[in-house]
């Protein structure tokens, strides 16, 4: 490590008098192997118990519900095999943008946030925007479960592990608790290579996340219950009271349950069982509890009772398409824990040198001068908490350019869209530049603008774009931003994507005498009757056009009063195909596709709008025609209910890939020879 400087708190970020801390190579590999072995045990224990919604009561499971050689395939472990592949192939240029390519090349499943972030990437959005736009699951567990790879590549240097974990997390959780969960896990696991007291480790990890975030509240609730002598089941109740949520994958709750496993576990098996028995995202909590204990105790410190049944092979979902293209090529992912450990340690040792880390791998361990305060988060980690999630930074040879989307990357028909463009002069000389924007065909934008920037100075210009013709607004709209530096040999050009708003026609509310939900749902009000008339479209009088910023229908549809509402959208497909339609809602709902009733439910269930649906009502496989498809929804907002929520999604079975290439921005009467004036 390095001696802290002489400032009052010793944590200003400046270091002097470098001193060497070393971790023995054999100890390093032993702890890394223990990490993966422990993760496999905990994940295999919890995988069969995972559900979409949390249960009020804990489980009572104290042994593997299922046993398979290599464990049960699990995204918690196998995604990190792909991240290792990315590190090996892309370092030192590995960042969120590089990881995004590996998402599309190698990740087949589309659970929750995975699916929405991948659909955003296919639209052309980059991290962190891809991790935030149209993503209901930013507070969930998809990223905290991927922390071990960054910890094992950065042993004893939690700040380095956290920075790498951040680049990972913003791909699919930008701005959410999922980011804080991965920062917490990566930092505590990295610190565990050199610090072995659980309370000290928790203190260190808490410095890497905001004090007021949900993860921190849940961790404090679990610790408080333990310190006051409460039982582990009482600690579970404390966590649920501190950070309540009904979704099983909600990050804060599961982070609290991890801490329960670490603090209340009397041994390895007891620890992973207590974490899993807390419920919710059981494979994730069990796996992370096991991985940290594996780092702390090493391979030999894990009981054979739990490890021998699983062996050292790594089970993956490549055969079923969960991950793909990983066993061929020049860098196939490891098939055993032994090979995984070998690769991680070999590359981790080199990365510590390349990064000029204060800790190195050597022949013996020397940590005598290491102090806990040297492991806490430096000031630049706090900067990550406040990073703008709708800003994409481009580090180009001639200049650093940022695109600031404001509140959203969505552009609406006949409405101005303002985008901020920032240029940083990284040259030691002043520069003069011309900033230009080339919008898509049929769009208008502000003209070229000139800037003169001193060395290190940042210049910002607001660009206004506008599209008034519906057939010029697509799902994905690429704009070219050009920067010409006068007197310099290169012109900088980059692509900026704007997403077209999802357009609907809406009418309502309709009421009847009793206003009972079932009666409202079954009463065929005028729009239903008109739907069956030949040639009818939602261009009819009485309907209003609304525009939604993604799949979410609330607040876009304006369903703010009790009664029955109707919404119609038109989907333009390039081919006939079977797709998975999802329209989850907090109220009763019917849906017709091309005049055929495809969904009808009056059961009100907890709202969880994923592509797959998890056996919830509101999902069906339907047939899209080539060309235009008319989708009508009937939504009932019950009297006295809270704000209505709903979402309309299309995905492709069997992997439920989010569909980005079926048009949602136009109406058929606005196209070509059928074009009418745009109806307000």
Q: Which two tokens stand for residue 116?
A: 């929405």
Residue 385 banded pLDDT, cuts 50, 70, 90: very high
Residue 397: pLDDT band with limits 50, 70, 90? confident
Cβ(536)–Cβ(528) below 8 Å: no
Work out the angle at residue 472's Cα, subtended by the Cα atoms of residues 470 and 473, and round it to the nearest 5 degrees: 70
pLDDT score, position 679: 43
**Over the stretch 327-382, which tens digit does the pLDDT of each residue have?**
987 889 999 999 999 999 999 999 999 999 999 999 999 998 888 889 999 999 99
Give CB contacts under 8 A, 24+ apart, made by 674-677. Answer: 675/471, 676/539
Is it the case that residue 676 has pLDDT exceeding 50?
no
Residue 18: the pLDDT is 52
Percent of all residues in the chain with a pLDDT value above 70, rounded to a whole number: 96
pLDDT digits (tens, 9 = 90+) for 604-627: 889 999 999 988 899 999 999 999
Give the pLDDT confidence score for residue 640 in this predicted structure: 84
Structure tokens belonging to residue 27: 């100890």
So what's the pLDDT on residue 6?
A: 37
Contact between 471 and 442 (Cβ < 8 Å): yes
Amino acid 3: pLDDT: 38
Residue 15 above 70 pLDDT? no
Query: Is pLDDT at 51 greater than 90 in this prediction?
Result: yes
218-241 pLDDT, tens digit per residue, is: 999 999 999 999 999 999 999 999
pLDDT value of position 20: 67
- The share of the chain scoring above pLDDT 90, in percent, equals 86
Which is it for the CA torsion 208, 211, 216, 221, positive or negative?
positive
Cβ contact 512:573 at 8 Å: no
pLDDT of res. 517: 73
Mean pLDDT of 539-558: 95
Provide the whole-model pTM.
0.94
Q: Compute CA distances 46 → 51, 61, 288, 448, 451, whole Å.
A: 10, 9, 11, 57, 57
Check pLDDT > 50 for residue 7.
Answer: no
**Mean pLDDT for the chain overall:** 93
Domains contained in the chain, CATH given: 34-383 (1.10.4080.10), 390-499 (2.60.40.10), 502-663 (2.60.120)
Give the residue among 289, 317, 288, 282 at the shortest CA–CA distance from 51. 282
Rounded Cα gap, residues 201 and 111, in angstroms: 31
Phi and psi (nearest 5°) for 424?
A: -110, 130
Burial 302-336 (b: 16+ CB within 10 A, else e): beeebbeebbbebbbbbeeebbbebeeeeeebbbe
In terms of Cα–Cα distance, which of 522, 613, 612, 508 is closest to 562? 508
Give the model confidence (pLDDT) of 119-172 as tens digits: 999 999 999 999 999 999 999 999 999 999 999 999 999 999 999 999 999 999
Q: 647: which residues sit within 8 A by CB, 6+ positions away?
A: 136, 551, 552, 553, 582, 583, 584, 585, 609
């Amino acid at each position: 490590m390095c001696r802290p400087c002489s400032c009052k708190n010793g944590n200003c970020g400046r270091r002097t008098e470098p001193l060497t801390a070393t971790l023995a190579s054999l100890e390093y590999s032993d702890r890394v192997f223990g990490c993966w072995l422990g993760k496999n045990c905990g994940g295999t224990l919890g995988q069969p118990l995972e559900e979409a919604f949390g249960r009020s009561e804990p489980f009572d499971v104290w042994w593997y519900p299922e046993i398979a050689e290599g464990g049960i395939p699990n995204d918690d472990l196998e995604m990190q095999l792909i991240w290792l592949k990315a590190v090996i192939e892309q370092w030192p240029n590995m960042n969120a943008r590089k990881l995004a390519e590996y998402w599309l090349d190698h990740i087949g499943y589309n659970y929750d946030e995975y699916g929405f972030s991948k659909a955003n990437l296919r639209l052309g959005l980059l991290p962190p925007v891809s991790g935030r736009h149209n993503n209901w699951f930013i507070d969930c567990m998809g990223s905290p479960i991927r922390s071990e790879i960054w910890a094992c590549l950065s042993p004893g240097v939690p700040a380095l592990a956290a920075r790498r974990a951040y680049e990972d997390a913003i791909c699919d959780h930008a701005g959410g608790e999922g980011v804080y969960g991965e920062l917490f896990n990566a930092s505590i696991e990295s610190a565990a290579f050199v610090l072995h007291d659980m309370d000290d480790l928790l203190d260190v990890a808490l410095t890497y996340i905001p004090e007021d975030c949900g993860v921190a509240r849940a961790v404090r609730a679990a610790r408080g219950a333990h310190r006051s002598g409460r039982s582990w089941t009482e600690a579970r109740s404390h966590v649920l009271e501190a950070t309540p949520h009904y979704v099983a994958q909600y990050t804060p709750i599961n982070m609290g349950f991890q801490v329960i496993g670490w603090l209340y576990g009397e041994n390895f098996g007891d620890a992973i069982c207590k974490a899993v028995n807390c419920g919710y995202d059981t494979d994730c909590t069990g796996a992370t509890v096991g991985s940290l204990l594996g780092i702390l105790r090493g391979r030999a410190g894990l009981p054979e009772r739990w490890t021998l049944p699983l062996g050292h092979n790594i089970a993956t979902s490549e055969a079923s398409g969960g991950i793909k293209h990983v066993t061929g090529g020049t860098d196939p992912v490891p098939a055993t824990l032994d090979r995984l450990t070998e690769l991680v340690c070999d590359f981790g040792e080199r990365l510590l040198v390349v990064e000029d880390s204060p800790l190195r791998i050597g022949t013996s361990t020397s940590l005598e001068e290491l102090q806990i305060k040297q492991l806490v988060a430096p000031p630049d980690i706090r900067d990550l908490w406040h990073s703008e999630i709708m800003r994409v930074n481009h580090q180009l040879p001639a200049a650093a350019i940022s695109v600031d989307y404001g509140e959203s990357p969505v552009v609406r028909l006949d409405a101005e869209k303002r985008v901020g463009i920032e240029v940083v002069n990284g040259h030691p000389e002043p520069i003069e530049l011309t900033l230009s924007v080339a919008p898509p065909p049929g769009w208008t934008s502000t003209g070229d603008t000139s800037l003169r920037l001193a060395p290190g100075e940042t210049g910002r210009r607001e660009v206004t774009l506008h599209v008034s013709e519906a057939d010029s607004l697509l799902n994905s709209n690429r704009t070219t931003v050009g920067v010409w530096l006068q007197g310099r040999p290169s012109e900088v050009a980059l692509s900026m994507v704007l997403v077209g708003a999802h357009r609907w026609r809406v009418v309502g509310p309709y009421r009847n005498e009793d206003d009972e939900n079932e009666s409202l749902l079954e009463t065929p009000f005028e729009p239903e009757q008109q739907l069956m008339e030949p040639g009818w479209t939602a261009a009819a009088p009485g309907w209003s056009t609304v525009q939604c910023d993604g799949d979410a229908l609330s607040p876009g549809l304006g369903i703010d009063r009790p009664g029955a509402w109707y919404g119609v959208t038109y989907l333009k497909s390039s081919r006939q195909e079977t797709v998975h339609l999802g329209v989850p809602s907090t109220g009763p709902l019917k849906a017709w596709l091309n005049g055929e009733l495809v969904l009808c439910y009056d059961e009100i269930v907890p709202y969880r709008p994923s592509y797959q649906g998890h056996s919830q009502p509101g999902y069906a496989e339907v047939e899209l025609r080539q060309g235009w498809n008319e989708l009508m929804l009937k939504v009932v907002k019950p009297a006295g209910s809270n704000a209505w929520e709903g979402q309309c999604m299309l995905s492709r079975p069997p992997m439920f890939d989010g569909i980005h290439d079926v048009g949602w921005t136009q109406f058929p009467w606005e196209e070509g020879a059928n074009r009418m004036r745009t109806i307000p």
